[in-house]
Each structure stands twice: as structure tokens, then as C-alpha cells.
Amino acid sequence: MRSMIRSLVLTSAALFATAAFAADKAVVNVPFNFESHGQAYPAGQYQVSLDPSANVITLSNMANTAQSVRWTAGPADYDAGTPILRMKFDADGYNYELRSVQIARRITSVLDAPAKYHLAGSYVATVSGQ
């Protein structure tokens, strides 16, 4: 099966954050189903949050609060005026695998299996600071 390399940045029409969330929380609308470590997640709204110590990033499905996942967070480059939240996905056809989650100055390690998605396209979902 051939992979097509494409890049997509989802705009604020599909994604949003409010001032109340500041740099430790954001809400994102992911318009496609995706996977992370073999766990399937449906398209929909997700809250991404950073714990008070800034060491753990949590992704929670807003329609099903029991569906959430946590990852250790490390330092990341972040400039004022750039999106607070960036979720990167690797795509192979219609399958999307979550690659990384960055909220402000913290980011997960690479989450997907490199061998499976090495030639896959990359999709980026971002949420602006406002």
C-alpha cells in the first residue's frame, strides 16, 4: 500500500482554546479516529492538560471521561505567539497514529512505533493561544 505524504494544519475553526485554560490546558477537536499504543480513540473533543509540576501531559476524551491517557513530559521549544497545543499524527491511508503532544513548553516523547509509520504522512493539529 502506498503512503501519500501530506501535511495538514487544523485551524481555529476546528480547534479552540480559551484564556481560562492558559498554558496548562487546551481543548482540541480531532476530526478523525486515531490510535495510541494500540488503544483506539474516536474523533471528537479532547482536553489536553499539564499537571502542576509540568511533568505529566493528560489527554482526555470530553465525551467519555473514562477514556484518558497520560504521558511523561519533557522540555520543548516554545515561542510566545505560537500555538499552545500541537498534536502530531502519522497517517498511513486512513489510519492515524498519535505521534506526539506538546502543550506550551512541555512535550511527550515520540509515541508511535517508528517501524510501522516510518513512511507515513504527518498531520499536525494545533490550538492557538487565544
Per-residue pLDDT tens over the stretch 13-54? 233 333 333 578 999 999 999 999 889 999 999 999 999 999
The pTM assigned to this predicted structure is: 0.72
Identify the DSSP state of 84: S
CA distance 122 to 64: 27
How far, in Å, CA of 30 to CA of 27, rounded?
10
C-alpha cell at 12: 481555529
CA-CA-CA-CA dihedral for 42, 29, 117, 24, to nearest 10: -110
d(CA 17, CA 40): 24
Per-residue pLDDT tens digits for 68-84: 999 999 999 998 888 99
> What is the rounded distance in angstroms from the CA atom of residue 42 to the CA atom of residue 80?
31
Rounded CA-CA distance 80/23 in Å is 11
Is the pLDDT higher at 56 or at 120?
56
